[in-house]
Structure 1
Amino acid sequence: MEEYFVWVTTRRIRPGTLADFEKTWRPATHPHGMRRAFAYWSDDGQQITGVSFWDTKEACDSWRVSEPETQRRAGMAPYVVEEREGFYRGRELAVPQR
């Protein structure tokens, strides 16, 4: 099975700021080593979970300390109330056929 390197960040944002938050959230450049990324929002628009898949942990770590990521996080800061993040290794699970 293929192993994946995944960075997950969940943020709670200030009510009514989702549109403004989204403008600052998307990186201006494609991070080197990022394969795919997904975003999930709660119904009330106050919680956002981002999931990104990376070639290696080192590629993710390199992006996280880069200047573009530092600027991106500074742009998001006025909207963020709480943030949790973590790096994981894993694999796709087979779902049994019905």
Structure 2
Amino acid sequence: MREHFIWVTTRRIRPGTLEEFEQAWRPEPYPEGLHHAYAYWTEDGLEITGVSFWDSKEACDAWRESEGEARRREAMAPYVVEEREGFYRGRELAVPVR
């Protein structure tokens, strides 16, 4: 099975700012080595978890240390109350066919 490299960030945001946060969240330029990115939010729109799939930990670290990521975090800052993040390695689980 193919190994995946994943960066997960969970943020609590200020009430009523989901739309503005989503605009600030989009990376510019698009990071090299990023394959897929997903955002999941709670029903109340106060917590968002971002999951991104990378070529390698090095590619993710290069983006996290980049000027583009610094600008993105600065743009998101007015909306963020709390943030947690982590980098993971893993594989797809085989789900039996029913």
TM-score interval, normalised by the smaller of the two chains: over 0.9
* Matching residue of 1:59: 59
Using structure 1 for the length normalisation, give the TM-score: 0.98
Q: Deviations over 1:12-37 (max 9, x none)?
A: 00000001111100012210000111
1:46 to partner: Cα distance: 0.6
Q: Which amino acid aligns with 1:81?
A: V
User: Counterparts of 1:67 and 1:28 in 2: how far apart (Å)?
Assistant: 10
Distance, in Å, in 2 between the alignment partners of 1:85 and 1:63 is: 14
Structure 2 Cα separation of the partners of residues 65 and 31 of structure 1: 11
Structure 2: stretches of 5+ with no match in the other structure: none
Q: TM-score, normalization: structure 2?
A: 0.98
Q: CA-atom RMSD, angstroms?
A: 0.5
Task: Give the Cα–Cα distance (whole angstroms) in 2 for the partners of residues 72 and 64 of structure 1.
Answer: 10
Paired residues for 1:1-98 under 5 Å = 1-98=1-98
The amino acid across from 2:36 in the alignment is R
Q: Which runs of 5+ in 1 are unaligned?
A: none
Deviation beyond 3 Å, 4+ runs, structure 1: none
Could you report, residue by residue, the CA deviation over 1:31-89 in whole angstroms, capped at 9, with x for unpaired residues? 00001111101100110000000000000000000001000000101110010000000
> Quick one: distance in 2 between partners of 1:56 and 1:74?
25
SS across alignment from 1:74: helix
* SS at 2:16 equivalent: coil
- The secondary structure found in structure 2 opposite 1:75 is helix
**How many residues are matched?**
98
